[in-house]
A and B are shown apart, each in its own frame.
Chain A
């Protein structure tokens, strides 16, 4: 969260709802380590990243849903043969994200 701290603080000062996604676990090869984070505002502004660009689009959708429902959740992105068109990491690894509103 260190890299996106300034954005988080600014959005919070402006009273804008923000969801924060953090990489908490990683299996196999992955571009970003646990602690990598990304924030999404209600109107779709984004700061930070959790992969090399492979899953950010899907994370935005999940984050917007977290903001709409208020439900924090674990989300996993990986790649498997029978999900060739699903969202995954091109490097073949699996990442586990925790996405929650910045309400703490």
Chain B
């Protein structure tokens, strides 16, 4: 293992979508020195390479794990031996977090278009539908995973792993599936819950969700009807409308045309 160059070990972890952080010294004699850190299991830490000093390695490995958990890349300053208050050494910590997840409930035409757009944006995509004739890998070749099951049962399993950067889209249009799916989605920390349907379907669904015990506060988390108002008609246009809403919600931006607004384009 230690004979393998660190790039090859990094490439292998990235191929397997294992979260990993890579630290690189930017200054001085040791510029280019590398340290890589990942967790082979929840309570284990594996450190590869060295920045040329045992104490520096220890401090940077700890910070790199923190940056990895936060999904953040950036420069940190240290002393020669990892002293926190010194600034003689700059180290770039690059966090390769696992990709964000997108769960699509309902294996319909809109799902197919959303899978394609979500893959372009780097999501790990799961399609879930209880009907096995529809939920097939033949129909969704680009999906990372096609699950034949009830959405609420899938969420009982993977729901606790979902974070703010992840997204759930409920595309079933069928109250049998979507009410339990929405209730289960609201129990997770997922950042986006979009629910497809016309305004009339939405009104009807709100009534059923209230009956199922969903509070006003929880209801406010739902993006229903799903998507931004860009006049989308086809499944592909709708997919762009939904993904745009997901991005705008994550970044907290207005989703208005930049030509109609002032201020910086990038935060």
Check B101 for interface membership: any CB of A closer than 8 A: no
Which residue of the partner chain, among B7, B15, B266, contacts A12 with CB atoms under 8 Å? B7
With A8-B11, A74-B26, A104-B34 known to touch, is A98 a contact of B266 (CB < 8 Å)? no
A 41-56 contacts with B by CB, 8 A: none
Interface residues in A, total, Cβ within 8 A: 25
For residue B95, give the distance in angstroms from its CB to the closest CB of chain A.
8
Residues on A with beta carbons closer than 8 Å to the beta carbon of B11: 5, 8-9
Check A102 for interface membership: any CB of B closer than 8 A: yes
Let me know if B73 and A35 touch, CB within 8 A. Answer: yes
For residue A84, give the distance in angstroms from its CB to the closest CB of chain B.
21
Residues on A with beta carbons closer than 8 Å to the beta carbon of B96: 1-2
Let me know if A2 and B264 touch, CB within 8 A. Answer: no
A 69-102 contacts with B by CB, 8 A: 72-74, 91, 93, 96, 98, 100, 102
A 18-51 contacts with B by CB, 8 A: 22, 24-25, 29-31, 33-35
For residue B25, give the distance in angstroms from its CB to the closest CB of chain A.
10
The distance in angstroms between the C-alpha atoms of A96 and B5, with both chains bound, is 26
For residue A22, give the distance in angstroms from its CB to the closest CB of chain B.
7
For residue B20, give the distance in angstroms from its CB to the closest CB of chain A.
10
**10 tightest A-B CB contacts, nearest first:** A35-B73, A24-B92, A34-B73, A29-B266, A72-B32, A25-B75, A29-B264, A72-B31, A35-B94, A34-B74
Residues of B within 8 A of A (CB): 5-7, 10-11, 14-15, 24, 26-27, 31-32, 34, 73-75, 92, 94-96, 264-266
